[in-house]
């Protein structure tokens, strides 16, 4: 397919430029730049007529696109995830409909890894609790020794782009690195473990950087937390569904593990009351991957995916669909 998207649209006998529905907010300057090539409409504003002619949808991993939603889009050609994750996009329906799916791999990998390391250090050193205590007038009573990370073992579940970056950061602060091994994982010099329980038992910090979805649902359960132990910390920058929240609250309540730092929750944006009151818990609002730089990178990846499909017939960053 040659020419601009608008030219190709005309060549195919379709009036106007491709209509793209978006389920995530996009920056105004990017929308202005892309306006000559695409009509972008928020999902919530699209009536039945708009859905009938929409040729692309922009979503993300946690919002996705369900089978029922696919069914309302008869002209759909492309689903673009605004980020690396795509776990809630129904890939089997996409395959059956011959709809292409694409994403933005590693657009935010470094900042997510940075955030995970920040959480690890803050959790081990008790930074939020110390900050609150000093501001409340405490000082001497707060100066108890706090554990560091040097010499400890960092266990990583999900040794992909983010996991590899976190492994390098962990090694840089003197940690030993282990990981959960599965088919296709390249661990290099890091220590492989065949299951989550044995990895947790070997780890001082268990960090989750894996995809969400059915394959990792409640991968971290009561057995894994028991194996992590009373001096162990859990850090989750992946998806909330990877952790059994009820089991985690029980483990934190009874000292089964030392603490947890969570950027994601199963119930987000709702936060369980029990987690709100625990000093050994650090919570951030699913922003590990957000920075001005990653925002630019995600918009650039989206543009390459749209242009790749509508101008050349192939998105720049395709997702492999199930057979």
- Residues tagged active-site: 239, 268, 286
Q: How far is CA 205 from the centre of its chain?
A: 19
Distance CA 185, CA 165 (A): 14
Q: Are 40 and 31 in contact (CB under 8 A)?
A: yes
Name the DSSP letter for residue 115: H
Tokens in use for 13?
Answer: 């006998």
Please list, in sequence order, all residues whose beta carbon lies within 8 angstroms of the beta carbon of residue 141, skipping any fewer than 6 positions away: 133
DSSP string spanning 142-193?
Answer: G------STT-EEEEE--SHHHHHHHHHHHHTT-EEEEE--TT---TTSEEE
Tokens in use for 150?
Answer: 């040097």
Strand partners, 153: 176
Q: How far is CA 50 from the centre of its chain?
A: 30
Short-list 11, 94, 4, 13, CA closest to 57? 94
Helix (H) or strand (E) holding 202: helix 196-202
């Amino acid at each position: 397919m040659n020419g601009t998207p608008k030219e190709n649209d005309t060549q195919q006998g379709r009036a106007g430029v491709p209509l793209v529905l978006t389920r995530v907010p996009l920056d105004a300057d990017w929308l202005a730049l892309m306006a000559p090539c695409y009509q972008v409409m928020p999902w919530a504003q699209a009536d039945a007529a708009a859905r009938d002619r929409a040729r692309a949808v922009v979503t993300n991993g946690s919002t996705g696109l369900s089978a029922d939603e696919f069914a309302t889009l008869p002209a759909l050609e492309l689903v673009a995830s605004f980020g690396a994750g795509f776990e809630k996009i129904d890939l089997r329906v996409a395959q059956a409909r011959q709809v292409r799916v694409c994403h933005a791999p590693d657009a935010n990998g470094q900042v997510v890894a940075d955030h995970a390391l920040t959480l690890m250090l803050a959790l081990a050193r008790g930074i939020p609790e110390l900050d609150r205590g000093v501001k409340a007038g405490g000082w001497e009573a707060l100066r108890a020794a706090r554990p560091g990370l040097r010499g400890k073992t960092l266990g990583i579940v999900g040794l992909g782009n983010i996991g590899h970056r976190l492994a390098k950061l962990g090694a840089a602060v003197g940690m030993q690195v282990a990981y959960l091994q599965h088919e296709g994982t390249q661990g290099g010099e890091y220590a492989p473990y065949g299951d989550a329980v044995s990895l947790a038992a070997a780890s001082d910090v268990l960090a989750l950087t894996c995809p969400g979805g059915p394959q990792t649902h409640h991968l971290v359960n009561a057995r894994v937390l028991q194996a992590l132990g009373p001096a162990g910390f859990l850090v989750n920058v992946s998806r909330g569904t990877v952790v059994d929240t009820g089991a985690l609250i029980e483990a934190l309540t009874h000292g089964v593990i030392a603490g947890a730092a969570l950027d994601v929750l199963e119930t987000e944006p709702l936060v369980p009351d029990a987690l709100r009151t625990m000093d050994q818990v650090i919570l951030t609002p699913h922003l590990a991957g957000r920075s001005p730089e990653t925002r630019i990178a995600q918009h650039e990846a989206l543009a390459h995916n749209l242009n790749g499909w509508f101008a050349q017939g192939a998105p720049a960053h395709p997702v492999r669909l199930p057979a």
